[in-house]
Structure 1
Amino acid sequence: MTAPATLPAPATSGERTARTPSRRARVVSRVVLALALAWGAYALAGALLAGRWWLWNGLGLAPPVAHLAVPALLVAVELLAGARRLGVLAATGVALLVGLGQTGVVLPAGAPPVDGSAPDAPTAVVVGWNTFSWDQGHDRQEFFAYLRSLDADVYLLQEHQHATPPDDRPRPVDDLDRVRRELPGYTAVAAGEFLTLSRHPVVDSVALRPDDLPPPRTDWPDYWDVRALRTDVRIGGRTVSLYNTHAPDLLNVNRSPFGRDFYEELHDSASRRTSHFTLLQDDLAANPYPVVLTGDLNVQPGSVDLRWYDGLDDAARAGGTVYPGTFPAAFPLWRLDWMLTGDGVEVLRHEVPGTGAEFSTHRPIRATVRFP
């Protein structure tokens, strides 16, 4: 006689919940999937359009670190909801991979050891800084004291200017005598908004001015027409070129995106950027000297605009900062300021000091470089 088959007991509600996601978890999972697909599309658009399409200059402004933070947050929400759907996790992973080149994360290459292997190679401490309207609105003594505290052999400073209310129209500053008193021992070279200060002898300087620009927007043409100042200096018996740069802004934050002026200025800035980038690239290509280039490039990591600097190396790879953000100074989510080197220049140290936020919206870059 055969014993009757034993049927499994009906699953309790608690066991069903453990095996299958709850309705709430499924809803959360669908929301996460939609957000992952949307973010992946945004990251893909950035990879394809940044630096290629002028309109993206007004759209692709997410902080670079968001390309890491957003996928990580979506994965955390999916796991905490208890859904763990493979398709959702895969979509989030793809969004992360697509945006990896735009994260702004710098993997250190390691600084060359200062071991005396090249005892005759000259070194210099170089500081690049967008001062944000110079000393305007600040105590002058404190401002110059901060500059001195950076203790550089060469300062490459942008926005040596003041702003005129109500529209912050830039105007030149005539204070080189004061600069020489506050920073004795430096040779000052100024053009447009740029001020380069060097303890080493200055051999030559040239303000790079494209000849295909539209009319300037204000009565100070040099502000609009000069966006790079090249200064050749003599260091340790050889000539090196220092490029002080500030690319035109990606967009005018004072314009409403609902007005026509916003898009007109966006297109105008993109055109100006191309003209300035082209001239700078041509000058770099013809330059026989070792190069240090720094300034407010107004270029996001991963942007095709970085092609204009092909042949130069990112100095941040010699630093210990994985995310060398510079803007805004108090909480630097964006990396708009860069230091690049070329023709054998070695970066021994690179840092983004977390000081000076009371003077500028940008953090300075300070590097020790060794010339070949």
Structure 2
Amino acid sequence: MDPDSVSPRSRHSTGVRLLVAATALWAAFLALDLLANGRWWFWLIPGLAPPLLFLAVPVTLLALAWTLPAAGSGLRRWLVPTAVLLLVAALPRTGLNWSAPAPGSAAAPAGPGIRVFSWNTEYWDTTDDPDAFYRFLHAQDADVYLLQEYLAWVRGTHTQIDELDRIRREFPGYQVVAAGELVTLSRFPVLATPAVGPAVAADAPWSEVFTRRKVLRTDLDVRGRAVSFYNVHIPVQVDTRESVFGRAFYRVVREADAARREQFAALERDTAANSRPLLVAGDFNTSPAMGDLDRLRARLHDARAASGDLYPGSWGGILGADWWRLDWAFTNDGAAVDHYAFVDDRGMSDHRGQQLRISLPHRGQDRCRWHVLESWCARHPRHP
């Protein structure tokens, strides 16, 4: 058939049918996401999508529905509110930072701050100029460093490295705590290192510690107060070396889901039982589009409230932008984040570093719990 012979009315009808179908498909996807996200191992795969997709799709549907001609006004009265509802339902998965117009902590700074730097180093300094690597760390001038991937990639496998002597030389006066691939450096005295997660024997080989210790808790004496710092690296959910058409790919996803759940559950239990001020930070391999962090985010305070970025991203590097936030930082009511930013990794990692300044409100100082009001609370602190 000659395309010119197709009537405008026929083309319009086809377009409307496609719009209705797209709206229905997106509604079905969101319904499945509500039911399966964070609950079904397979949903880790759709969860790999850029979180901004949850904004782009409903906004596009809304724009198309709004521009329907007068002949389709009856349908428009149905499609427009539907698209608005789908947009509202998807907003929590977009990763947008609603505090960006007026970033601030959820409590007024109290006393000298604690500078923290958390970073997935991507195989430590084994793929970089070691001197440049350590210069970058020194430039952060942090009181506490929470570093992940203290290891190397050799012949297709994660391999132990031994640089503790150099670390101590590079950071004199710091306490060094290492477990598997996790290293915590502190200017403050170490009080304890309680185990979090699956039990690992003291004499277990490094490979077992690497596999099972994905949370390193270090309790520090911060100017006379005990504060807990959790250094986190949740296992990645996919193996990109496997074909999506092979069984091995899905076996890896299912096994990764079990390992991730075990680590998340342990972290949630430990932080819930910990009455001390605490900071949880690291590479969670979890984007805002994934439900794995929902329980932790519901109980702790996301540091992004102190960020000025409307869309904080830490990983991706596609078209000059980081489209995924995989690195997170949280505090409880005992600690407040006064500054939070992602810093350029200078080509030494596929993750940007998290730079934080936290303060410890005075005992008894009220802390606003509602995330949507965190910026307001920072400017209008209440005192007992």
Instruction: Name the amino acid aligned to 2:93.
Output: Q
Structure 1, 25-34 or 129-138: larger mean CA deviation = 25-34
Q: Do the aligned partners of residues 351 and 200 (structure 1) sit closer, same or farther apart at CA in structure 2, a change above 3 Å counting?
A: same
Q: TM-score, structure 2 length as denominator?
A: 0.81
Instruction: Name the amino acid aligned to 2:104.
Output: A
Instruction: Name the amino acid aligned to 1:146.
Output: F
Alignment of 1:178-327 (within 5 A): 178-211=166-199, 220-301=207-288, 303-309=290-296, 310-327=298-315
**Displacement after TM superposition at 1:207 (Å):** 4.2
Q: Do the aligned partners of residues 112 and 223 (structure 1) sit closer, same or farther apart at CA in structure 2, a change above 3 Å counting?
A: closer
SS at match of 2:44: helix
Q: TM-score, structure 1 length as denominator?
A: 0.84
Report the equivalent of 1:358: 347
Whether 1:141 aligns to 2:134 is: no
2:37 to 50, 60, 74: 50
Separation of aligned partners in 2, 1:49 and 1:114: 35
Report the equivalent of 1:65: 52
Report the equivalent of 2:121: 131
SS at match of 1:356: coil
User: Please, which runs of 5 or more residues in structure 2 have no aligned partner?
Assistant: 1-6, 362-384
Structure 1, 296-305 or 198-207: larger mean CA deviation = 296-305
Residue by residue, what CA displacement relative to the aligned partner does 1:263-306 show, whole Å, maximum 9, x if unpaired?
21111111112222222222223323110000111223254422
* Cα contact 2:105–2:305 (8 A) shared by 1: no
Q: Do the aligned partners of residues 298 and 207 (structure 1) sit closer, same or farther apart at CA in structure 2, a change above 3 Å counting?
A: same
Instruction: Name the amino acid aligned to 1:340.
Output: F
SS at match of 2:114: strand
**Displacement after TM superposition at 1:204 (Å):** 1.5
Whether 1:111 aligns to 2:101 is: no
Structure with higher helix content: 2
**Displacement after TM superposition at 1:21 (Å):** 6.9
SS at match of 1:208: coil
Report the equivalent of 2:372: none
Q: Do the aligned partners of residues 33 and 176 (structure 1) sit closer, same or farther apart at CA in structure 2, a change above 3 Å counting?
A: same
Report the equivalent of 1:16: none
**Displacement after TM superposition at 1:78 (Å):** 5.4
Residue by residue, what CA displacement relative to the aligned partner does 1:22-62 show, whole Å, maximum 9, x if unpaired?
54344333323322322232223222211101111122221
* Cα contact 1:233–1:239 (8 A) shared by 2: yes
SS at match of 1:146: helix
How many residues in Structure 1 have an aligned counterpart in Structure 2? 343
Q: Do the aligned partners of residues 322 and 21 (structure 1) sit closer, same or farther apart at CA in structure 2, a change above 3 Å counting?
A: farther
Residue by residue, what CA displacement relative to the aligned partner does 1:338-360 show, whole Å, maximum 9, x if unpaired?
0000132111111112x115111
CA RMSD of aligned residues (A): 2.7
Report the equivalent of 2:88: 97
Report the equivalent of 2:380: none
**Displacement after TM superposition at 1:110 (Å):** 4.4
* Cα contact 1:47–1:302 (8 A) shared by 2: no
Whether 1:341 aligns to 2:327 is: no
Separation of aligned partners in 1, 2:165 and 2:194: 21
**Displacement after TM superposition at 1:77 (Å):** 4.9
**Displacement after TM superposition at 1:112 (Å):** 4.4
Q: Do the aligned partners of residues 226 and 35 (structure 1) sit closer, same or farther apart at CA in structure 2, a change above 3 Å counting?
A: same
Instruction: Name the amino acid aligned to 1:68.
Output: L
Separation of aligned partners in 1, 2:8 and 2:82: 19
Highest CA radius of gyration, 1 or 2?
1
Structure 1, 189-198 or 323-332: larger mean CA deviation = 323-332
Separation of aligned partners in 2, 1:29 and 1:148: 59
* Cα contact 2:148–2:181 (8 A) shared by 1: yes
Structure with bigger RCO (C-alpha 8 Å, 6+ apart):
2
Instruction: Name the amino acid aligned to 2:94.
Output: T
Report the equivalent of 2:141: 151
**Displacement after TM superposition at 1:140 (Å):** 1.1
* Cα contact 2:106–2:336 (8 A) shared by 1: no
* Cα contact 2:192–2:218 (8 A) shared by 1: yes
Instruction: Name the amino acid aligned to 2:301.
Output: D
Instruction: Name the amino acid aligned to 1:245.
Output: V
Q: Do the aligned partners of residues 232 and 71 (structure 1) sit closer, same or farther apart at CA in structure 2, a change above 3 Å counting?
A: same
Separation of aligned partners in 2, 1:192 and 1:21: 66
Q: Do the aligned partners of residues 363 and 25 (structure 1) sit closer, same or farther apart at CA in structure 2, a change above 3 Å counting?
A: farther
Separation of aligned partners in 2, 1:115 and 1:51: 34
**Displacement after TM superposition at 1:335 (Å):** 1.4
